[in-house]
Chain A
Amino acid sequence: MPFTVLNSRMVEARIAPGTRMFSQRGAMLAYRGEVSFTPNIQGGQGGIGSMIGRRIAGEATPLMTVEGSGTVMFGHGGHHVHVVDLTGETLYVEADRLLAFDGSLQQGTMFMGSQGGVMGMVRGQVTGQGLFTTTLKGHGAAAVMAHGGVIELPITPQRPVHVDPQAYVAHRGEVRNKLSTALGWRDMVGRGSGEAFQLELSGQGTVYVQASEEKL
């Protein structure tokens, strides 16, 4: 595991020669050894094709490649950091929440509208996440940022989890998500509870929820 948690807002990553890591630009706080930070035009892995895909999807966050040998400390904006270890599963997360991740993870972009059809698109609009999300797949670890601490909630086929769209951080595993609405006449006259939209996650996996409704 390349990440060591230093405190709630900082992680330390070990960079071995020959491996590389991607991180958000400007998120390095300190480093030891000979490490170089190269701004990454493509915004991650893959060639020009992936870059164009990310640009169109709005998932192009300025990233930098971290290479060399040594240890690097990451932290950004005072946000809480949560390390997710992946062993073959896929992590679905917004690109701007990614603080750093292993170069061994496969980065991709996914169209969220394919889950849930029209409702999936509405979901993207309501949560402000847009229609696309970034996927990380393979073996490795990713450091994810959240406003406030992160709570892991397990999802099992018998127990779907409902999450406030603003507090949703990421999820992993075989999870279907859809937007469930509880719109009533009260919402129509502007006396709603403020919880009309919820994200319903069902299947097998984990959802990460932040202890705040504030977006990054």
Chain B
Amino acid sequence: MTGPVVHDVQTLPADDNVNPYAFSVDLNGQWFLQKGKMIAYYGRIDFHGIGHGHLDRLIAGSFHSPLHAADWVVAEGQGKMLLADRAFDVNSYDLDEGNLTIRSGNLLAFQPSLSLKQSIIPGFLTLIGTGKFVAASNGPVVFVEPPVRVDPQALVGWADCPSPCHHYDHQYLRGFLGGLRAHTGIGGASGEEHQFEFVGAGTVLLQSTEQLMPELATGTVPDEAGVPGGGGHAQQSGSQLPQLPGNLGGLQRRFGL
């Protein structure tokens, strides 16, 4: 083993993974990007918020989710851009005249040749068209083909198959012992009574654990040690009174309120 690999703008991969947790985009034009997922970049790249400026045509063409508009930015320019999300596994996927639905928190970035729509299933986004997108998952992604039933928390997304339905399994609550279990609660639950069922042709994407990636408020500075400006709105006085806006909070304390 040699020491750590040092990358520069030439050796960074073009549209490929640097390691399992970081992805390098060879930007020449525009990419859509979820806020806060860019960790570094080379070159001249501008980040524009969605909803204003000269990008109206682009957004009209490929961004059809007003619900998520506040969470996304457009990266525009030339250079190499590194994407990552809290050391979760990151992968890129190619869609060819296809459609794929993905949990909204897991999608990191996509090419504008794809168009983003809100899925009719809340919390999911659908990508339609041809192009590349980058998604994160808690553990490596496993592809399975229907018919399959999956744990709701392990589901990352699905491609080409009809929308899933709920499947409830209460078989073990039948019979005498099951009745006893249902009425008294003794014996507990298996934790697997409820799954999402997929049928038809397509592919289902699973992550390797049933722990969801926790939703992170995008764009805010996290309240952590060593982060300047983090936790700026922490209550300083112990008073239960509502604080006055701005810097007048100190006045309240001064008057002993």
Contact surface of A with B, Cβ cutoff 8 Å: 6-10, 25-32, 36-39, 41, 62, 64, 73, 75-79
Question: Which B residues lie within 8 Å of A73 (CB)?
Answer: 142, 144, 206
Q: Smallest Cβ distance from B7 to chain A, in angstroms?
A: 25
Q: Smallest Cβ distance from A22 to chain B, in angstroms?
A: 11
Question: Which A residues lie within 8 Å of B189 (CB)?
Answer: 25, 39
Q: Smallest Cβ distance from A24 to chain B, in angstroms?
A: 9
Question: Which A residues lie within 8 Å of B188 (CB)?
Answer: 25, 39, 41, 62
A9 and B191 CA atoms in complex are apart in Å by 19
Interface pick from B52-60, B125-133, B148-156, B228-236? B148-156
- Are A30 and B171 in contact (CB-based, < 8 A)? no
Contact with A along B156-194 (1 / 0, CB 8 A): 000000000000010110000000010000111111110
Question: Which B residues lie within 8 Å of A75 (CB)?
Answer: 139, 154, 208-210
B147: Cβ under 8 A from any A Cβ:
yes
Question: Which A residues lie within 8 Å of B140 (CB)?
Answer: 7-10
Question: Which B residues lie within 8 Å of A31 (CB)?
Answer: 148-149, 195
Contact surface of B with A, Cβ cutoff 8 Å: 138-140, 142, 144, 147-151, 154, 169, 171-172, 181, 186-193, 195, 204, 206, 208-211
Q: Smallest Cβ distance from A23 to chain B, in angstroms?
A: 9
Question: Which B residues lie within 8 Å of A9 (CB)?
Answer: 139-140, 208-209
- Are A77 and B208 in contact (CB-based, < 8 A)? no
Closest to B155 in A: A30
**Which 10 A-B residue pairings sit nearest by Cβ, starting from the closest?**
A26-B191, A9-B208, A30-B150, A37-B192, A38-B172, A29-B154, A78-B209, A39-B190, A64-B190, A37-B190
A62 and B139 CA atoms in complex are apart in Å by 24
- Are B186 and A41 in contact (CB-based, < 8 A)? yes
- Are B151 and A10 in contact (CB-based, < 8 A)? no
Closest to A32 in B: B148
Question: Which B residues lie within 8 Å of A41 (CB)?
Answer: 186-188
- Are B142 and A6 in contact (CB-based, < 8 A)? yes
A154 and B140 CA atoms in complex are apart in Å by 29
A62 and B191 CA atoms in complex are apart in Å by 10
- Are B151 and A30 in contact (CB-based, < 8 A)? yes
With contacts A10-B142, A75-B139, A78-B138 known, is A30 near B172, CB below 8 A?
no
11 pairs of residues in contact across A and B, judged by CB atoms under 8 Å: A7-B139, A9-B208, A26-B191, A28-B192, A31-B195, A36-B171, A37-B192, A38-B172, A39-B190, A64-B190, A75-B139
With contacts A37-B190, A38-B172 known, is A30 near B149, CB below 8 A?
yes
Question: Which A residues lie within 8 Å of B154 (CB)?
Answer: 29-30, 75
Q: Smallest Cβ distance from B149 to chain A, in angstroms?
A: 6
A30 and B151 CA atoms in complex are apart in Å by 6
A77 and B208 CA atoms in complex are apart in Å by 9
Which residue, of B139, B187, B190, has the highest number of chain A Cβ atoms within 10 A? B190
Closest to B177 in A: A41
- Are B139 and A36 in contact (CB-based, < 8 A)? no
Closest to A31 in B: B149
- Are B151 and A77 in contact (CB-based, < 8 A)? no
A154 and B91 CA atoms in complex are apart in Å by 36
- Are B208 and A30 in contact (CB-based, < 8 A)? no
A113 and B227 CA atoms in complex are apart in Å by 49
A36 and B206 CA atoms in complex are apart in Å by 20
- Are B206 and A30 in contact (CB-based, < 8 A)? yes
Closest to B198 in A: A30
Q: Smallest Cβ distance from B185 to chain A, in angstroms?
A: 11
- Are B192 and A10 in contact (CB-based, < 8 A)? no
Known: A39-B190, A77-B211. 5 other contacts (CB 8 A): A9-B208, A10-B139, A27-B210, A76-B210, A78-B208
- Are A64 and B169 in contact (CB-based, < 8 A)? no
Which residue, of A28, A62, A76, has the highest number of chain B Cβ atoms within 10 A? A28
Closest to A7 in B: B140
Q: Smallest Cβ distance from A136 to chain B, in angstroms?
A: 21
Question: Which A residues lie within 8 Å of B139 (CB)?
Answer: 7-10, 75, 78
- Are B190 and A38 in contact (CB-based, < 8 A)? yes
A120 and B142 CA atoms in complex are apart in Å by 42
Question: Which A residues lie within 8 Å of B147 (CB)?
Answer: 32
A18 and B151 CA atoms in complex are apart in Å by 24
- Are B209 and A77 in contact (CB-based, < 8 A)? yes
Q: Smallest Cβ distance from A126 to chain B, in angstroms?
A: 30
